[in-house]
Amino acid sequence: ETGVTQSPTHLIKTRGQQVTLRCSSQSGHNTVSWYQQALGQGPQFIFQYYREEENGRGNFPPRFSGLQFPNYSSELNVNALELDDSALYLCASSPAGLADYEQYFGPGTRLTVT
């Protein structure tokens, strides 16, 4: 069983640009959540996808969007990047029908916006 992987590991973008971050969930996990972790803070929930549909959203503007694909991969897209978007972005996947809330996190993508 492979773990959750994310790409790229690090990314540097300029303010105003757009970025796409990718996540590959564990096989059989049809729920994926994305989190933003600013320096010195805990992860903050961005949104969650379940069977390719958005299933809940945290306090993030619409310029944060996502996609989930049938092959257990997903994307986080951020438009019009701002300096405050600099953070570690984590994806986490859960098995289908999970009732006990355990999630499996990837190592994250470190995004720097200059």
Partner 1 sequence: DQQVKQNSPSLSVQEGRISILNCDYTNSMFDYFLWYKKYPAEGPTFLISISSIKDKNEDGRFTVFLNKSAKHLSLHIVPSQPGDSAVYFCAGTTSGSYGKLTFGQGTILTVHP
Between 14 and 84, CB nearer to partner 1? 84
Between 10 and 15, CB nearer to partner 1? 10
Instruction: In angstroms, give the least distance from the CB of 23 to partner 1.
Output: 11
CA terminus-to-terminus distance, the chain:
38
Among the listed residues 41, 50, 22, the one whose alpha carbon sits nearest the alpha carbon of residue 84: 41
Instruction: In angstroms, give the least distance from the CB of 20 to partner 1.
Output: 19
Between 41 and 79, CB nearer to partner 1? 41
State the Cα–Cα distance between residues 102 and 84, nearest whole angstrom: 29
Instruction: In angstroms, give the least distance from the CB of 109 to partner 1.
Output: 11
Q: Which residues bind partner 1 (CB under 8 A)?
A: 4, 31, 33, 35, 40-45, 48, 50, 55-56, 58, 90, 92, 94, 98, 100-108
Instruction: In angstroms, give the least distance from the CB of 13 to partner 1.
Output: 21
Instruction: Read off φ and ψ for residue 93, nearest 5 degrees.
Output: -120, 155
